[in-house]
Amino acid sequence: MKLRRLFLLLALPLAAQAQAVTDIQFWHSMTGALGDRVSNLAERFNKSQKDYRVVPVFKGNYDESMAAMIAATRAGNAPDIIQVFEVGTATMMAATDDGSGKKKSVVKPVYEVMAMGGEKFDPKSYVPAVSSYYTDSKGRMLSLPFNSSTPVFYYNKDAFKKAGLDPNKAPKTWDEVGIDAAKLKASGAACAFTTGWQSWVQLENFSAWHNVPFATRGNGFDGMDAKLVFNGPLQVKQIAMLADWHKKGWFTYGGRKNEPEAKFFSGECAMLTSSSAAYGNIAQNAKFAFVVSPLPYRAEVKGAPQNTIIGGASLWVMAGKKPAEYKGIAKFFTFLSRPEIQAEWHQQTGYLPITKAAYELTKKQGFYKTHPGTDVSVLQMTEKTPTANSRGIRLGNFVQIRDVIDEELEAVWSGKKTAKQALDDAVARGNELLRRFQMANR
């Protein structure tokens, strides 16, 4: 009897070992309330099963976490899942295993991970305008869209009323925005219009929204030898218009990223173009009634508006992990793609629902009726089928190219360059960066 009990005591820790939980390191860049939601999602997944444990780690902003991930990969210590912003897509894609076995790769494409995990994975169930950004030329999804946003137009209803404008009539074209801006300034508003993420909204999305190319080769989707072409006449006209507004005091420049959103919800600027994901922050801080409406377009362009492209980030999986970890990752991705989870994420954060089922569920729940304007972002992306100019942007060194564009635009706002000069210079500098990326990845 005593011997048997001894055996049992010894065997117990071994049995526990056999059921050891596989840890999955998930590096993300979501701060504040968003970070809490990510932790909450991971907790719910961990509670729903016993074999895998997702460990979310906040690694700094998108730049910092990408640099940390690259350093870790070089040291052989990569995380399992990493959230990479859309401008890092080309870098990640260039390092992805393309199945040919030709080169050493550090990224495992998502379609392979899902197959390894034996999870049902139908790329068609994802919203095309969202998933096409992260799909390769063979139609295979390389990363999982997680927090995708798109630019929309916000305006201050109370400021409109004060300026004698109809608060329920959103300006549809940029000319109408100009007319409204003039009236707002005349009524004594400090500033009429501002924009966040100027490169993303006023050049990248502007080009897609009007179906003109941002770069050749399908905005870089079809080859690394793409050249930038965003200095076309239409884009020059738009930037020149904004430069003119800046001189007139209608447009106030607030910063390169989301700093201008504060100018809107503080009541300083009455109109704003920025990410749909700003909704949460604006709703929390604005002490006035505001409306979300579609991004304005230029009336003289035939066929406009087309569709907008996404910003935000997606989840990439790193190579060189154990099969058990890939199984766990696949399960986690299936969990994240569930309609209820996606619908909840979309409704709480303002990010787009990545699956069609999530969108339908949100509609059925009547969310769009109780929160008017929250479906603007989805409609902008789904009403028309994307063209070669509006699938997205896939360019190497895009982080630096965005910096170049931001600098050149700042030169326009400060009056140092004309719109045409600045865009031509940005294209020239950007093309050099593209050539360097092409050389480093050949």
Tell me which residues touch another protein (CB under 8 A): 63, 67, 70, 73-74, 91, 94-95, 103-106, 253, 255, 397, 399-400, 403, 407-408, 410-411, 413-414, 416, 429, 433, 436, 439-442
21 or 439: CB nearest another protein? 439
Q: Annotate the chain with three-state secondary structure.
A: CHHHHHHHHHHHHHHHHHCCCEEEEEEECCCHHHHHHHHHHHHHHHHHCCCEEEEEEECCCHHHHHHHHHHHHHCCCCCCEEEEEHHHHHHHHHCECCCCCCCCCCEECHHHHHHHCCCCCCHHHECHHHHHHHECCCCCECCEEEEEECEEEEEEHHHHHHCCCCCCCCCCEHHHHHHHHHHHHHCCCCEEEEECCHHHHHHHHHHHHCCCCCEHHHHCCCCCCCCECCCCHHHHHHHHHHHHHHHHCCECCCCCCCCHHHHHHCCCEEEEEEEHHHHHHHHHHCCCCEEEECCCECCCCCCCCCCCCCEEEEEEEECCCCHHHHHHHHHHHHHHCCHHHHHHHHHHHCCCCCEHHHHHHHHHCCHHHHCCCCCHHHHHHHCCCCCCCCCCCCCCCHHHHHHHHHHHHHHHHCCCCCHHHHHHHHHHHHHHHHHHHHHHCC
Tell how strand 81-85 and strand 22-28 pair up: parallel
Work out how close the CB of 336 gets to another protein at its nearest, in angstroms, rounded to a whole number: 25
Which residue, 71 or 388, is less far from another protein as judged by CB? 71
Closest CB 103 distance from another protein, rounded Å: 7
- Specify the residue, 44 or 74, whose C-beta has the smaller distance to another protein: 74
C-beta closer to another protein: residue 70 or 240: 70
- If the CB atoms of residues 25 and 306 are measured against another protein, the closer one turns out to be 25
Q: Which residue, 322 or 416, is less far from another protein as judged by CB?
A: 416
- Least separation in angstroms between residue 43's CB and another protein is 31
CB closer to another protein, 175 vs 425: 425
Whole-Å CA distances, 239 to 38, 40, 139, 201, 275: 37, 42, 35, 12, 19
Nearest distance in Å: CB 3, another protein? 55
The whole-angstrom separation of Cα 79 and Cα 104 is 18
**Least distance in angstroms from the C-beta of 253 to another protein:** 7
Tell me the closest approach of the beta carbon of residue 259 to another protein, in angstroms.
Answer: 9
5 versus 442: smaller Cβ distance to another protein: 442
Query: By C-beta, is 74 or 169 nearer to another protein?
Result: 74
What strand order describes the sheet that includes 269-275?
191-195, 269-275, 151-156, 290-293
For residue 278, the minimal CB distance to another protein (Å) is 19
Name which of 176 and 406 has its Cβ closer to another protein.
406
CA distance 87 to 400: 9
How far apart CA 292 and CA 174 sit, in angstroms, is 16
Least distance between another protein and beta carbon 73 (Å): 6
In this structure, what are the phi and psi dihedrals at residue 176, rounded to the nearest 5 degrees?
A: -65, -35
In whole angstroms, the minimum distance from the beta carbon of 414 to another protein comes to 5
Provide the minimum distance between the beta carbon of 398 and another protein in the complex, in angstroms, as a whole number: 10
- Number of Cα atoms under 13 Å in the Cβ half of residue 436: 10
What is the closest distance, in whole angstroms, from the C-beta atom of residue 94 to another protein in the complex?
A: 6
Q: Which is nearer to another protein, 11 or 67 (CB)?
A: 67
